[in-house]
Amino acid sequence: MNQTSCNLKGEQKVFWLHLGKASSCCRSHSEPLPSDMSTLLQHWKQEHGQLEQGIPIPGCSVCWKDQAQGRTSYRQQNSHKSKNTIQLWINNTCNQMCSYCSPKFSSTWQQSIQEHGPFQNVSSTSKNNHALLTENIDQTQWIENIREYLQSQPPNSIVLTLLGGEPLMQVRSLQKLLDLASPSISQLQIVTNLNPPTNKFLIWLLDNIPSNKFRFEISIDATPEYNHVPRAGFDADQFKINLQLLQDRGIEFSMSSVVSVLNVFDLPRFINWSKPYQVKFNTLDHPDCLNPIWLPKHILDQIKDQFEQEPPMIFQELYQELYRENTQSLVDLKLFEQYNYLCQYFSRTDIDPKQINNDLFQQYWTWLSERQK
């Protein structure tokens, strides 16, 4: 595999239907949906050919940046994968307000920004992340385009995934997913916080889809008792009930965690808790002020000492980032933004940072608060 070729380009098709956008994998830059599927597929095929020839695509800059900084990029992590996948985002309905999320993917964030306005004293990138979802896009034609594409593909050749918002709150979206059922689909996948206000739609899904064709990817960033900190609105008791329901039904699932400054303090405990499960760790895309690289070394050292085994690669890469030539002025600016961002996040989600049950977080929060005075 050369330095630019990518098995995902054009194979991992992502459609943000509620935004009228698409991308050729979940990390590449999105682009407006054209009038038909064939135009889009041809465009991605041409880009795939350019990558094979060693020509970097501007829309893939996330991977180029990671590789240039010595991190394992998404394309490198998935160099062995070539499964044809379709990921659908249909609307933003969600009961949680994850610290790094936005109105585009959370109706709870949408309501907060509408009522209280955007965050203050944060970067323009963070403010753009909080832009309100204002469009009401008709998805009918593109749902039909996807249906026709599925019907044109070989049997059992495609993984179809529904994301949100929170899919288990979106019964109409779930019904659309079932309506797209085709012999070409080898697996139906739901990406969920597994923590909707009610589990009636979860039970409905389990009753309507054969367990051997069904899979969950569960988004959880810390141990259940701590997960309400990075993911405001999380109910640990309801999560445990739903997780047990999947286990009792014999449903295949894995977990996915975004590593940020709000869950890195719980990472050693989370790894111990999640040992029975398959877990994938992801870097934080935005807002960058919540990236753990801004933690001081003495805090990271203490977190590292709490791991019972070798820390996961994503944590080890923090040290590679930490020792890069960041100017002190940049560090100060990011810590200033982080403090302002977290104060407003805690205020809007009724989280008292002084009551968060983690000694290292308390040590860091005291250090950060005093630094801003």
Residues 279, 285, 291, CA angle at the centre, nearest 5°?
85
Q: What amino acid occupies position 44?
A: W
Q: Provide CB contacts within 8 A for 233, sequence distance 6+.
A: 95, 96, 97, 108, 195, 349
Contact indicator for 74, 27 with CB cutoff of 8 Å: yes
Contact 163, 174 (CB under 8 A): no
Name the pTM for this structure. 0.89
pLDDT in tens, 261-285: 999 999 999 999 999 999 999 888 7
Share of the chain above pLDDT 70, in %: 96
Q: Give φ, ψ of 104 to 5 degrees.
A: -65, -25
Tens digit of pLDDT for each residue in 195-243? 999 999 899 888 888 778 889 999 999 999 999 999 999 999 999 999 9
Average model confidence (pLDDT) for the chain? 89
Residues 6+ away with beta carbon under 8 Å from 188: 160, 161, 162, 177, 209, 213, 214, 215
Q: Which tokens go with 204?
A: 């409905």
Domains and CATH numbers, the chain: 83-292 (3.20.20.70)
- Range with lowest mean pLDDT among 123-132, 136-145, 154-163, 259-268: 136-145
Question: What confidence score (pLDDT) does residue 155 get?
Answer: 92
CA dist 22 and 244 (Å) reads 35
Residues 6+ apart with CB under 8 A from 76: 63, 67
| The predicted structure's pLDDT at residue 249 | 92
- Crossing angle between the packed helical segments 236-249 and 200-208, to the nearest 10 degrees: 10
pLDDT tens by residue, 208-220:
887 788 899 999 9
- β 214-219/185-192 pair status: parallel
* 29-84: pLDDT as tens digits: 888 998 888 999 998 888 888 888 888 788 877 787 777 777 777 777 766 666 88
Give the C-alpha separation, 3 to 112, whole Å: 42
Q: What is the dihedral of CA 144, 148, 151, 157, to 10 degrees?
A: -90
pLDDT of residue 75: 73
Quick check: 2 pLDDT over 80? no
Give the residue-averaged pLDDT of 85-92.
92
Q: 301: Cβ–Cβ under 8 A, 6 or more apart, which residues?
A: none
